[in-house]
Chains A and B, each alone.
Chain A
Amino acid sequence: MSGLIRPGAPAPEISLATHEGPRFTEADLLGRTTVLVFYPSAFSPVCSDQLQIYDEVGDEFARRGAALYGVSTDSTWTQRAFVEHLRVSIPQLSDFEPKGATSRRLGAYLESAGTTNRAIVVFGPDAVVRWSHLAASPAELPGANLILDALDAASS
Chain B
Amino acid sequence: MASAMPLELRPDDHVRGPEDGELIVVYADFTCPFCAVAHVRLGERRPPVRRVFRHLALKARQPRAVAVARAAEAAARQGAFWAFHDAVYADQGHVDDPHLWALAERLGLDVDRFEADRRSEAVAARVEAQTREAILAGATTTPAFFRAGRPDPGLYHELVRSEKKNAPARNEGGPERLNI
Contacts and interface: CB of A to CB of B under 8 A. Distances in A.
B61 to A, nearest CB: 6
B60 A48 contact: yes
B59 A52 contact: yes
Q: Which bracket fits the contact residues of A? A: 20 to 34
Interface stretch (B85-93, B95-103, B130-138): B130-138
B58 A56 contact: yes
A145 B180 contact: no
Interface in A41-61: 41, 44-50, 52-53, 56-57, 60
A143 interface: yes
B132 A40 contact: no
A45 B139 CA distance: 16
B165 interface: no
Determine chain B's interface SS by DSSP, over half rule. Answer: loop
Given A48-B60, A49-B61, A52-B61, A145 B177 contact: no
Contacts, number: 78
A62 interface: no
Find the residue from B131, B137, B177 having the highest chain A CB count within 10 A. Answer: B177
A41 B180 CA distance: 7
Contacts of B180: 40-41, 44-47, 113, 115, 118, 138-139
A145 B132 contact: no
Contacts of A139: 176-180
A138 B180 CA distance: 6
Nearest to B59: A87
A20 interface: no
Interface of B: 1-3, 58-61, 131-132, 135-141, 176-180
Interface of A: 40-41, 44-50, 52-53, 56-57, 60, 85-88, 113, 115, 118, 138-146, 148-149, 152
